[in-house]
Structures are given as C-alpha cells and as structure tokens.
Structure 1
Amino acid sequence: MTLDSLFEQLKNPNPNLRQRARTEIVMRRNADTIPRLMANLEQEDMIYRRASVKTLGLIGVDSVPSLVDSLLNGKNATIRASCAKGLAQVAVNHRDVDFPQEGIDALESGMKDPDPVVHISSVMALGAVGLPASDALITALESTDNLAVAVAIINALSGINDQRVPEVLNKLSNDESVDPYIKESAISALSRFDMVMKYASMEEERLNK
C-alpha cells in the first residue's frame, strides 16, 4: 500500500484500519510525513483530523517543534486545539522519553489561549506530561482567574505523582475565600490523588518482588 493510500485510510470509519494505517505511516515516514499530517489539522473531517493528531503523537518528539509552532501561531482554534492534543499524544505514547521543555512552555501559553477548547486541551496535555509539567500547572493555578481552567488544572494535578499536589489541594479545600466549585473540586481531587498514590505504591511493590 502506498503512503497516499495509507493517508486515505486515516479517513476510514473502521478504527482498526485507522490504527494499522497510523502504525504503517510511522514506520514508513519520510521528510514530508509530519508536514502532511500537520496540514490535516485544519480538516473539517473530524475522523481524519483526529487520526492525524494520533499519528503525530505516535511519531513522538520529532513532531513537537511543528506542534509547538502551530499551537502558538495557528490561524484558528481547531488547529491550536489539535496541536495541544497532539502534544498530549506524544507524552502518552512515549513515556520513556523526556518530554521537550519547548512543548511544556507552549502548553503553558496555551492555557491562556482565549478559546476554551484550546486552553482546556492544553491543561489536559500538561496533565498527560505529568511530573515535568507540575510547576507549570501549579503556577497557572495560583494565577488564573478562569474558573474552568482552574478546575481543569486541579483535575490534572490529581493524577500526577508529585508530593506538592496534596499541599496545594489541601490549601484550596480549606480556603473559604475561593469559589465553592474550586473548593469542591479540590476535595474530590484529593481523593483521586490518594488513589493514584496507592496504585503507584502497589505497582512499585509488584515490580520489586
């Protein structure tokens, strides 16, 4: 199957065929692959666009410079949100590789994007990056006046194994001056954080047996 045929298969309604196409494109990629996938991020076809995002994530850190550039400079919110999601896919698919700082910096800027889909996608992507993104998330939580962003950050932090997280969440949950929704979110996030820590501890014990 040619590369052109594989790109066409990214539009296929069958998720298994799209998965095969993504894997094959990554294995056979050339100098045109990333630019071609990036061009698809403004496609109206949601299946094609999302498949392109996932393929960029599967490629890994080589996709990051292009994703960063379009997250910061993309001409519309669809492109910028897709880039944030692409950076999340890089983090999820390549946990054994250090996530580039330029990606974290771009997502930190993305949290301030005027479009709600872009700034929430950026928060979720930083949550996917995990511990290396903790500083960016905590700093943003302390400074943002956007309720939706604050709640999204709280939820993202609850899944990160960082011992500063319970301190931040406890402070919010005990602060009578904060918005009630933020306070409730912090209380719920503390429970999720405890579950994450228990799972991490159990997994560590299993691996050390």
Structure 2
Amino acid sequence: MQTVMEAFVHQLDPLLRRAHGVREFTDDPRCLLRVAIGACPRDLVLCDGTRLRRGEPILELHLWNERIPRMPPEGPDLAWGLQFYRQAIASLRLIARWMESHPEARKARALRGETSLINPMRGLIRDLGFEVFRVERGASGWRWLRYRMDDLYVWMLMQAYNPASLRGKCLYQLERVEFWISRERFLERYGNAHSLRGEARISPPPPEGTQAAS
C-alpha cells in the first residue's frame, strides 16, 4: 500500500518530466534512462579536449526510476549490482543508436546528467566513461537552497521507487554532482561498434512541433 509521500512522488514526477521535456525514446525493457534535449549551462572543457560553450545543444540524461531494478530488503548485493550495470550499459548503447538516427539529437555536442548521489556511485559513473563534477562546491544563498531541495526530492524518489537503497544512509550523505561525456567519446564507446543482444526498439522522432510523451 502506498504511503502519502509515495503517492505524491508518483503524481509529481510525470509533471516535472513534462515540464523539462524529458522523453522516453525507446520501449526496450532494459532501458534505465530517459532523455531531454538541453543547452550547455556554462563554458566547459572536458578531459578529451572538447570545448563546450554556454547555450550549445547537449543531451540530458534522466533516470527512469520505475525501471531501476528493485533492491533486496537488506540493500544492494552483487547480483543487483551486476543487473544494474548490465542494464546501464544496454541503456547507453540504446541512446547511442537513437542519437545516430535522430536529427535533433545529432546536434548535441555532449551528454550530461545531474543528480544527488551517495559517494560509492561516483565510481560506477566513472566506470561508464563519464567525468564527475561536484556542482555544489562554494554554493550559497539561493543556489545552496536549490541543491538541498534537489537532494530532498531525490531522497523522496529513492524512498518511493527503491527504498532498500536508503538502508543505513542519511539525507546529509547525498552530494549534488554533474556527469559529462563528449559526443565523440560517447559514440566511440557505445555506438555502432558495440552491438546489442536482441533488437533495440527505438522510437521514431516525434513530428515537428510536437512533444514526445515522458
């Protein structure tokens, strides 16, 4: 039976996805990610030398919370970790194939995600080829408050969709990070050279002027 908080999150999450243009680009059940076309928030140089200018098109990555494998009550174990990692790899390969065929996504110069996470997750994100930046360092005033509200919402999402992930953890352990990878490096790692087992079912681009369902 849903708690009041879980019911609230399940109603709010779709509204926020629509507001941010987050879309489901595939119906493949392995996929753990949704995407949105975004703009680079600031000038940035990535580790492979890619120079990004503020306002340039990028692809934003968003967790598909309903698809995250359910953790056992005692928390994540090796079996859960392997399942999550394999689905993460499959998801990124699906995105690469979608980017190569979708006109709007072909303009994206990099891929970016932003989330609140607990320290051990940094290593997993780096293993997937992304650079990780802590974005709250030196934040104050409204920015600091925004990050704390983001942390709280991520905590609520985790509680609603995968409560075992919070076992033995506290809200103050969350830290706000960005993770980035250039388009070239991403496609080199996850593009056509890396085939998926089975057919990846990629949704066609939405008609001009319409918004894909989120």
TM class by shorter chain equals: under 0.3
Higher RCO structure (Cα 8 Å, ≥6 apart): 2
Higher Cα radius of gyration:
1
Higher helix residue share: 1
TM-score (norm 1): 0.25
TM-score (norm 2): 0.25
